[in-house]
Amino acid sequence: MPTVLQFRRGTTAQNNSFTGSDGELSLDTDLYTIRVHDGSTAGGFEITQNTATQTLTNKTLTSPTITGVSPTVTLTGAVTGSGTLTDLGSVSITTTNTADPTITLTGAVTGSGTMTNLGNVSITTTNTADPTLTLAGDLSGSATFTNLGNATLTADIANSGVSAGSYGSATAIPVITIAADGRITSATTNSVTVGDGTLTMNTSGTGISGSASFTANQSGGSTFTVTSNATSANTGSTIVARDGSGNFTAGTITATLSGTATNATNVYINNDDTGDTNCPILFSANSTAGYKPIYEDSSFYFDNTNNILYTTANAARYADLAEKYTSDIQYPPGTVVVLGGEAEVTRSPGPTSRAIAGIVSTDPAYLMNTYLEGECIVDVALIGRVPCMVTGIINKGDLLVSSSRPGHACAWTNATNPPAGSIVGKAIENKTDEDPGVIEVLVGRL
């Protein structure tokens, strides 16, 4: 006989409380089932018998075959039908409506339709009373909207009582009456009658003549012609007429003229070479546009012989007296210039030059030597105040001499007086940096 192999055994309660080693087996003597243990779970894991009844909890059945179970599904109510789920398989149920619903329309639009087996339904509607539109007043006509569809309305305008036709002629005036609503309610004509008579017209005067007469309310006519001796030529005892260009010629006009003359495109000025040395200058009272008188002043005149303008000035817009000098190149305003170079003056070449001529003026108040000719001309300020190109720190009141920067001045900082002929001018304003700049300078009054 082979040796008998027996495992640990006990009741269901004993197995439930027992924790076996990993891989150990135990026998449930109540159910005669085997438990497999993992060394940590109390009761282990039960292995059931093939014929045992089991409860499937949290189990997934993959493609199971279930036999012996075939329930029947039955529909009741408005829709009836039944089918059997053989072995819990699929089922197709043919349904029948116990009562198909009917939709009925009432009111101005009527109609009905039955939803067979709850399907779609089409309802043909009928209007119980089709509306009619009727026009009244000066317009008449009506139209009925059958089944609320479209309708065509033909309108007729009421007869105003006025006969059709044209009113008015060469001898009749139309008389038309219009009502408040814009309708013409009547139309007639009134005859026009011109009484008989003869009209005679005559004209007379210097250079014109003509006469004519005609009888009214006759078919004939008469032409009234006026003639004149007008001409654009300078002809005595004639009327002045413009030619095709709008011009005319006249002799001496002797008259006292008054009023306002219109603008003239051109004014003829006689070339007077008689040598008059006292030609007054004409001027207006102000510079505004418009008609104004012309004035003259005996102290404001032009010497035609010597080409000199005489007047008295007591104010100037600018601040320096300047004179024209020739220079080697055209220097900008504010440049310090000295006597020398290829022309009369040139830009200051270095510090403390003794040949200072002055500063190139920006806008002279009075400019001398205006007829000086040369390739390059500069206006050199001799007296007054002018902008000057400078370099370095400068205090108001400092004497200025030429600096090491060509064409620029700088402050004289020595305790002794600067060399003779080297002073450019005296500073009118401060300069607080070392960079080149421009300040106002007083020249000629030191």
Q: Is the pLDDT of residue 67 over 80?
A: no
Please tell me the predicted confidence (pLDDT) of residue 341. Answer: 93
201 C-beta neighbours (distance < 10 Å), count: 12
Provide mean pLDDT across the span 422-434: 95
pTM recorded for the entire structure: 0.40
Ramachandran angles phi, psi of 119, nearest 5°: -90, -175
Asked whether residue 354 carries a pLDDT value surpassing 60, the answer given is yes
Which stretch of 41-50, 220-229, 409-418 has the lowest confidence by average pLDDT?
220-229
Q: Exposure of 408 by Cβ count < 10 A (0-12 exposed, 13-18 middle, 19+ buried)?
A: buried
Phi, psi of 116, deg, nearest 5: -65, 125
Confidence (pLDDT) at 213: 66
> b/e map of 87-103 (b: 16 or more CB within 10 Å)?
eeeeeeeeeeeeeeeee
Q: Which of 77-81, 153-157, 184-188, 211-215 has the lowest mean pLDDT?
A: 211-215
Residue 130, SS3 per DSSP: coil
Topology (CATH) of 8-47: Seminal Fluid Protein  PDC-109 (Domain B) (2.10.10)
Q: Which two tokens stand for residue 336?
A: 């310090």
As given in the structure block, the two tokens for residue 422 are 């080297």
Q: What is the mean pLDDT of the chain?
A: 80
Taking 80 as the threshold, does the pLDDT of residue 359 lie above it?
A: yes
Q: Between 67 and 177, where is the model more confident? A: 177
DSSP 405: S
Return all residues near 377 (Cβ < 8 A) that are at least 6 apart: 324, 325, 326, 327, 330
Q: How far apart are the first and last CA of the chain?
A: 154
- pLDDT score for 73: 76
What does each C-alpha distance from 19 to 13, 41, 42, 44, 237 come to in angstroms?
12, 6, 4, 7, 160
Q: What is the pLDDT of residue 301?
A: 66
Residue 219 has pLDDT above 60, yes or no: no
8-47 with 320-443: one CATH topology? no
Q: What angle do CA 192, 194, 196 make, to 5 degrees?
A: 160
Q: Hey, what are 227's tokens?
A: 């003639």
In this predicted model, which residue has the larger pLDDT, 60 or 197? Answer: 60
Phi–psi pair at 230, nearest 5 degrees: -60, 140
What number of H helices and E strands is found in the chain? 1, 33
Residue 290, number of CB atoms within 10 A of its CB: 7
Query: What's residue 264's pLDDT?
Result: 56
Q: What is the pLDDT of residue 280?
A: 73
pLDDT of 227 over the 70 cut: yes
Residue with tokens 């509306």: 131
Q: Is residue 339 pLDDT above 90, yes or no?
A: yes
What's the confidence (pLDDT) of residue 265? 53
Output the pLDDT for position 70.
Answer: 75
Q: Give the tens place of pLDDT for each residue, 176-193.
A: 888 777 778 787 888 876
| Closest among 423, 376, 375 to 399, alpha carbons compared | 423
* Residue 48 CB neighbour total at 10 angstroms: 11
Give me the pLDDT at residue 277, please.
65
Q: Check whether 274 has a pLDDT greater than 70.
A: no
CATH architecture for residues 320-443: Beta Barrel (2.40)
CA nearest 410: which of 401, 420, 423, 397? Answer: 401
Given a cut of 70, whether residue 210 has pLDDT beyond it is no
Q: Which residues pair with 425 in a beta bridge?
A: 400
pLDDT tens-digit readout, 103-159: 887 776 777 888 777 778 788 777 667 788 887 777 788 888 777 778 888 877 777
Q: What is the dihedral of CA 188, 190, 191, 195, to 10 degrees?
A: 180
* Residue 81 Rama label (left phi>0; alpha psi -120 to 50; beta): left
* Confidence label for 199 from pLDDT (cuts 50, 70 and 90): low
Q: What is the per-residue pLDDT for 48?
A: 78
CB 18 within 8 A of CB 10: yes
Most confident of 124-138, 201-215, 257-271, 355-369: 355-369
What value does the mean pLDDT take over residues 157-163?
75
What is the predicted pLDDT for the residue at 368?
A: 92
- Residue 411 is predicted with a pLDDT of 96
What contacts 305, CB < 8 A, 6 or more positions away?
275, 276, 277
- The 8-class DSSP code of residue 331 comes to P
Domain ranges in the chain? 8-47, 279-310, 320-443
The mean per-residue pLDDT over the stretch 396-406 comes to 96
Q: Tell me, what DSSP letter sits at residue 211? A: E
217 band by pLDDT with thresholds 50, 70 and 90: low
Q: What is the DSSP string of 286-326?
A: -SSSS---EE--TTSEEETTTTEEE------SS-EEEEEEE
Choose the most confident range, by mean pLDDT, from 10-24, 279-293, 430-444.
430-444
Q: How far is CA 417 from the centre of its chain?
A: 68
Q: What is the pLDDT of residue 335?
A: 97
> What token pair was written down for 208?
């014109």
Average the pLDDT over 308-318 and give the result.
72
Q: What pLDDT does 390 receive?
A: 97
Percent of the chain surpassing pLDDT 90: 29
How many Cβ atoms are within 10 Å of 361's Cβ, its own excluded?
Answer: 26
**Is there a contact between 437 and 371 (Cβ–Cβ < 8 Å)?**
no
423: enclosing H helix or E strand: strand 423-427
Quote the pLDDT of residue 294.
74
What integer is the mean pLDDT of 199-206?
Answer: 67
User: One-letter amino acid identity for 276?
Assistant: D
